[in-house]
Structure 1
Amino acid sequence: MITGELKNKIDSLWDIFAAGGLVNPLDVIEQITYLMFIHDLDDSDNLRAKEAAMLGLPYTSIFTDEVQVGERTIDGQQLKWSVFHDFPAGKMYSVMQEWVFPFIKNLHGDKNSAYSKYMDDAIFKLPTPLLLSKVVDALDEIYRLMSESQAVDVRGDTYEYLLSKISQSGRNGQFRTPRHIIRMMVELMDPKADDMICDPACGTSGFLVSAGEYLKENRKEEIFFNRQKKDHYMNHMFFGYDMDRTMLRIGAMNMMTHGIDNPFIEYRDSLSDQNPDKEKYSLILANPPFKGSLDADTVSADLLKVCKTKKTELLFLALFLRMLRIGGRCACIVPDGVLFGSSTAHKAIRKELVDGNRLEAVISMPSGVFKPYAGVSTAVLIFTKTGHGGTDHVWFYDMTADGFSLDDKRSPVADNDIPDIIARFRKPGAEKDRQRTEKSFLVPRAEIVDNGYDLSINKYKKTEYKPVEYPPTSEIMAQLRELEVEIGAEMSKLEELLRM
C-alpha cells in the first residue's frame, strides 16, 4: 500500500495535471503511463547492457548513437530520460513532442505486435512546456522515493494507486484486483516454462505481468539459457484480451516494461463470437468483470449451451473451460453468488466443474479484500479441465486475513493467511486428516453432489462451540452488592465535597 510522502507526491502529480488543464482521469493515467514507460526504457536499457556485459554477450542499445525518427536522423542519447530531463522546459517539450514520442510509437518494427497496435493512435496531450517540466520533475521525485522504499513491489503499488484514481474503476472493476491476491493466485498455479497463459479480461495485464515475474524468479535458468524457451516467453506465452483500448495500451506497455517483448494483447469481446479460441491455453488467470447482465444475442452460442444465462460471471467460467486445453488449469475470482446461487444456470456451471472436470479448490476470501472500491464477498476457484470428470475431493480454505485491515483504509496488519494457503495447497496429503473446524479441509465429491453442488464453505464448515462456565448466581449477586456499597460511599464523598 502507498502511504506517507510517496502517496502525497502522487496526489500532487494528479493536481499538477488538473492545474495544467488535463482533468479527464483516463487521459491523465495514459499520459503518466507514457512518461513512466519512457523513464523505464532508459533504466531497463541500462540494466540489459550491464547484464550483457557481465555475461559477455553482445548488446545493442535502443538509444544507439544515431536513431531514425521519421525522416530525420538524431542523436539517440537525447531520447534518454536521464538526458532530456535536464533540458530547459521549451527544449524538453520540443524533444518530447517531435522526437521521443514518435520514437516510442515506432519502437517495434513489427506492426502486428501488441505494442505497435495500441501505440499507433496514441497522442501526446500535455498542452504546455511548463506542465511537462513540472510533471517530469514530479515523476523524478516519485522515482527517487520508490528507490528508497523498502517495499517489495513499490512500483506495482504506485501504479495500482494511480489506477485507483480513475473514477470508472469503481463501475467496471476491470483492474481492481489487489496485487498480493494476484501474486497468491500465481504462486498457487506455479506457472511452467512451456505454459501458454491467458487472461480473457486482462485490463492492465496484472495477472500476466505477475506470471512473467514469477517465471523470472523461479525458472530463470530454464527459460533464459534456452533459446526456444526464451523465444516462447518473449513472443508466444502471454495472451490478454479486453474491450478498452486505453487499458490495452497500458497493458502492452506494462508487459514490455517488465521485459516481455511481444505479448499478444488484443481488443476482443471474449464472450462473443469474435473470440474463436478453443482448447488453446494451458493456464488461465483471471478476475473477470461482474457487471451483471448483458445482451444474450451478443454471447457466443456454445457458451449458452453450457449455462443459459445473461450473467457474465457464469459465462466467463464456461468460457474458461472452452479456452483451456485438456489438462489446462485455471485460477479465477468469482463473486460468492456463483458458489451457492440456486438458478438453473448457477447449478449447471457448478455441476460442469465438479462432474465434467476436476474442481480442486475453493478459497473463500473476506469481503474487505476489494475495499475501498467494493465490499463484495468473493472466492478463488481452482480447477483443471479434463472433459471427463476427476473430482474426488474439493479443498476448501476459509481466508479471514490477507495482511491488510478489512476496512476502507486497508492498512498493513500482522494477520495474513496467504502464506498458509500456499503452503497447505502444495501439500495436499496433509489435508486429509484436518477437521472441519480448521482453516482448511477436504470435502468428498459425493457430499457436494448431495448438497446440490453448493460450493459455499459455510455449508461444510463446522463451528466449534466451547462451553463457558460462569460463577454461581449467589456469587454474582454478592459482587453486585459490594459494588453498590462502594458506589454509595463514593457518592457520599462527592456530596461532602460539593457542600464545601
Structure 2
Amino acid sequence: MLQNNPELKSKIDQLWNKFWSGGISNPLTAIEQITYLLFMKRLDELDLKRQADAEWTGEKYTSKFEGQWIPPEYRAKTREDDTPKETKKRHADAQMYEIDKSTLRWSEFKRRQAEDMLQHVQGKVFPFLKDLNGAESNFTHHMKNAVFIIPKPSLLVEAVKTIDEIFIVMEKDSEEKGQAFQDIQGDVYEYLLSEIATAGKNGQFRTPRHIIKLLADLVQPQLGHKIADPACGSGGFLLGAYQYIVTQLALKSLKKKEREALEPDEDGFVRTSVAAALTEKAQAILSTSLWGYDIDSTMVRLGLMNLMMHGIDEPNIDYKDTLSKSYTQEAEYDIIMANPPFTGSIDKGDINENLQLSTTKSELLFVENIYRLLKKGGTAGVIVPQGVLFGSGKAFKDLRKLLVERCDLKAVITLPSGVFKPYAGVSTAILLFTKVWAPEDNADKPATENVWFYEMTEDGYTLDDKRNKQKTPDGKDSWGDLQDIIEKYHARSTKNETEKSTDRTAKYFMVPRSEIEAEGYDLSLSRYKEDVFEEVHYDAPGVILERLIQAEVGDVEDADLANVQSGIVRELLELKGMVG
C-alpha cells in the first residue's frame, strides 16, 4: 500500500495529472498508455539485470535488445514458386527496414529530443513492443489492436521523466525498507488501477491486494496446480497465486534463521519475490499454471502486462466470456480464485447450456461455472455479494444447495462493507469450497459435514473512502482480522478449535450441515450467530432527576428557590415531586 509512502504517491499523482492536462482525460485510456511506458521501462531494466546476472554466473542469456528487428509489415514473405533469386531479393528488400534493437531501449530513447522521441516511440518502439514475443504469442495477439496515442511530444517527455523518478523512489524504498521491488511496483500499478473512474461499472471492482493475499493463504495453491480466474481483470488473483507459490518454494530453500529473518508486510503476510532463484523446471511449470479470462480487451492487455512486469514472461490471459456458449471448458483446474462481477445480468440466449441455474444473474452463474471448472478435489476461493448467502429466489437456493451437497463447503467468511470502497459499499463474503461430486455423478450423500463461519470486522484499514492504514496502540501497522482468519481456518479441525467452534457468540463458529439444510440452505452468518445482550442497570428516576437539578443550580436546599421556580429547574422539581 502507498499510504505510507507519500513521496511515491505524489509522483504517481503528478503523472496522472500530466496525462489529464495533456489531453488524455479518459482514465482507462490514460492507464493503458501509462502501462505501456511502465512496461517499456521495466523491460529495459529487467533485461539489463539479466545480462548482468548472466555475466556474473557465466550462464548464457540473449538480450531482447540484441541484433536487428524488422517490423512485421516489411518482413520477407516468400512464396512456394519463388526462385532462389527471388527469395534472396525479398530478404534483401526486407533488410532495408532493419532496426537496431539497442535503439529501442528506454535508456536509449529517453535521451532523444522531444519531437524525435515521440516519432521514435510511436513508429518503432511501440511496434516492437507489440511484436515482443513473436507472431504466435498470446501477448502479440492481444496487442494487435493496441494503439499508442500520446499526442504531444511534451507529454511524452514529461511522462518519461516522471516514470524515471518513480523508479528511483521505488528502488530507494526497496533498499531502505526491505520490501521486494516487484511488490512496490505492484503497489504502484494497483494504485494506478484504483484511479479508473469507471471501476464499479457492472459490478466490477478492483480487489484490494491484502484480500488477494488472504485468499491465497486460505486456498494455498501449490507448484503443479492448474490455477484460473474466469473474470481476471488486471490479473490480481493470478499474480497473488504466483507470488504465494514463489514464496513457499523460496522458504523451503532457506535455512531456519533466514526464514525467521523475513519480515511480514504491513498486513502480516510473508512474501518474497525471488522467482529468479527458481529452477528452470519450476519456472516452466509455473508458466503453464496460470490461466485468466476476461471480456474486456483493455483489461486483458493490462493483465498481460501486469503479469509480465512481475516476471511471468508468457501469461495465459485470454479474451473470453466464460459464461457463454463458446466457452466449453469443464473440470480443468485445481485452484480457482476469483472476484466475479456483481449485480450484472447477461443475455439469456448466450448462457452456456451446461449451466443449470435458471437465472441471468452473473454472480450466481459465475459461482456455478467455477464449480464446473474445478477438477474433482479442486478448491475455489470466491468473493460474492452477501445477497448470495440468503437470497430467497429459487436460483439462490439451488446454488447454495449445490455448494453444500456436491461440494465440501469449508467456510463462509463475511467481510465488512467498506472493503471495496471507494468503488462501492456492498457487503461481501468469501466462499471456500472443494468440489467432491461432478455434475454427472450420482452423489450418494452430501459432501459437506460442517461449515465454518467467520465474521471479519476489520481488515487493517479504515472502512471509509480513504481506506487509510490503521495502527495498533503501540504504533505498529494493524493486521485487522486477516492473520487470525488464516490461523483459525487452518486449525478449525483440531480438537482445541473444534471445542471453541461451538460458541455461537464468538467471531467464528462451526455449523453442521443438518442445521443449514433445516434453514433452507441459508448461509448468512446472522442466521446462526447468537447475539449477547448485557443487562444494564440504571439509577432510579429520582436519583437521575436530582443529578440533573444539581447540574443546573447546585444544592437546591441552599439555593434561593424563588430564583429557580421558573424554566427547566422548576419543571425538574415538579417531575421529581411526582416520581418521589
- Fold shared, TM-score > 0.5 on shorter chain: yes
Report 1:191-270 matches (<5 A).
191-220=221-250, 226-234=279-287, 236-270=288-322
Residue of structure 1 in register with 2:332 after alignment: 280
Deviation at 1:99, TM superposition (A): 2.5
CA distance in structure 2 between the partners assigned to 1:479 and 1:329 by the alignment: 62
Report the aligned-residue RMSD.
Answer: 2.4
Aligned position for 1:327 = 377
Question: Residues 467 and 76 from structure 1, CA distance in 2 versus in 1: closer, same or farther, beyond 3 angstroms?
Answer: same
Residue 89 of structure 1 is matched in structure 2 by: 114
Distance 1:69 1:93 in 2: 19
Q: 1:295 aligns with which of 347, 359, 363?
A: 347
Distance 1:173 1:342 in 2: 21
Deviates more, 1:88-97 or 1:250-259: 88-97
What is the alpha-carbon distance in structure 1 between the residues aligned to residue 246 and residue 44 of structure 2?
A: 21
State the Cα distance separating 1:51 from its structure 2 match: 4.2
What is the aligned partner in structure 2 of residue 349 from structure 1? 399
Residue type at the aligned position of 1:401: E
Runs (5+) with no aligned partner, structure 1: 493-500
CA pair 342-54 structure 1, distance change in 2 beyond 3 A: farther
Aligned residue among 431, 435, 447 for 2:497: 431
Q: CA deviation at 1:54?
A: 5.2
Change in 2 beyond 3 A, CA 1:175/1:39: farther
Cα distance in 1 for residues equivalent to 2:530 and 2:224: 41
Deviations 1:179-215 (A, max 9, x none): 1111111111111001101110011111111111111
Q: Note the C-alpha offset of 1:390.
A: 2.3
Name the residue aligned to 1:23: 25
Paired residue secondary structure (2:499):
coil
Deviates more, 1:153-162 or 1:411-420: 153-162
Cα distance in 1 for residues equivalent to 2:49 and 2:516:
52
Contact 2:412 2:451 in 1 (8 A): yes
Return the letter of the residue paired with 1:432. T
- Distance apart, 1:173 and its partner CA: 4.0
Residue 498 of structure 1 is matched in structure 2 by none
* Counterpart Cα distance in 1 of 2:526 and 2:420: 21
Aligned to 1:469, the other structure's residue is in SS state: coil
State the Cα distance separating 1:148 from its structure 2 match. 3.7
Question: Which deviates the most, 321-330 or 164-173?
Answer: 164-173
Counterpart CA distance in 1 for 2:151 and 2:201 is: 29
Distance 1:253 1:443, change over 3 A: same
Distance 1:409 1:364 in 2: 21
SS at match of 1:404: coil
**Which is greater in Rg?**
2
Q: Percent identity?
A: 45
Q: 1:470 to 1:287 in 2, by over 3 A?
A: same
- Measured against aligned partners, the alpha-carbon deviations of 1:42-90 in whole angstroms (never above 9, x if no partner) come to 22223333444555432222122x3324244444333222332233223
Alpha-carbon displacement from aligned partner over 1:397-420 (angstroms, at most 9, x marks no partner): 100001111111111113511111
Greater mean deviation of Cα atoms: 463-472 or 131-140: 463-472
Moved more, 54-63 or 326-335: 54-63
Amino acid in the other structure paired with 2:8: L
Match of 1:378 in 2: 428
Q: Secondary structure at the match of 1:413?
A: coil
2:448 corresponds to which of 355, 372, 391: 391
Deviations 1:475-496 (A, max 9, x none): 444433432333999999xxxx
Give yes or no for contact 1:360–1:393 (8 Å, CA) kept in 2: yes
**May I ask how many residue pairs the two structures share in their alignment?**
487
Which consecutive residues of structure 2, in runs of 5 or more, have no partner in the other structure?
A: 72-94, 254-274, 438-442, 472-477, 562-580
| Equivalent pair of 1:237/1:263 in contact (CA under 8 Å) | no
Deviation at 1:15, TM superposition (A): 2.5
CA distance in 2, matches of 1:184, 1:378: 14
Residue pair 1:431, 1:440 contacting (<8 A) in 2 also: no
Which residue among 185, 188, 206 is the counterpart of 1:155?
A: 185
Distance 1:487 1:73, change over 3 A: farther
Instruction: State TM-score, norm by structure 1.
Output: 0.91
Contact 1:399–1:417 (CA under 8 A) maintained in structure 2: yes
Tell me, yes or no, if the aligned pair for 2:205 and 2:423 is still in contact at 8 Å.
Answer: no
Give SS of 1:441's match: strand
Judging changes above 3 Å, is the alpha-carbon distance between structure 1 residues 470 and 325 closer, same or farther for their aligned structure 2 residues? Answer: same
In the superposition, relative to structure 1, how do residues 491 and 417 fare at CA in structure 2: closer, same or farther (>3 Å)?
farther
Q: 1:50, 1:442 → 2: CA distance? A: 54
Kindly report which structure 2 residues correspond to 1:6-21, keeping only aligned pairs within 5 A, or say none: 6-21=8-23
Aligned residue in 2 for 1:495: none
Structure 1, residues 332-391: CA drift from partner, whole Å, max 9, x if none?
100011000111111101001001111001000011001111010000000000104421
Give CA-to-partner distance per residue, 1:453-487, whole Å, 9 cap, x none. 11011111112222333445554444334323339
1:336 partnered with 2:386: yes
Distance change (3 Å), C-alpha of 1:490 and 1:79: farther
* Aligned residue in 1 for 2:552: 484
Distance 1:449 1:51 in 2: 59
Structure 1 position 317 matched with structure 2 position 374: no
* 174, 179, 200: which one aligns with 2:204: 174
**C-alpha contact 1:113 1:263 (8 A) present in aligned 2:** no
Paired with 2:316 and 2:129, the residues of 1 have a C-alpha distance of: 18
Matches within 5 A, 1:106-117: 106-109=131-134, 111-117=135-141
Q: Is the 8 A contact 1:113 1:264 kept in 2?
A: no
The 5-angstrom pairing of residues 183-198 of structure 1 reads 183-198=213-228
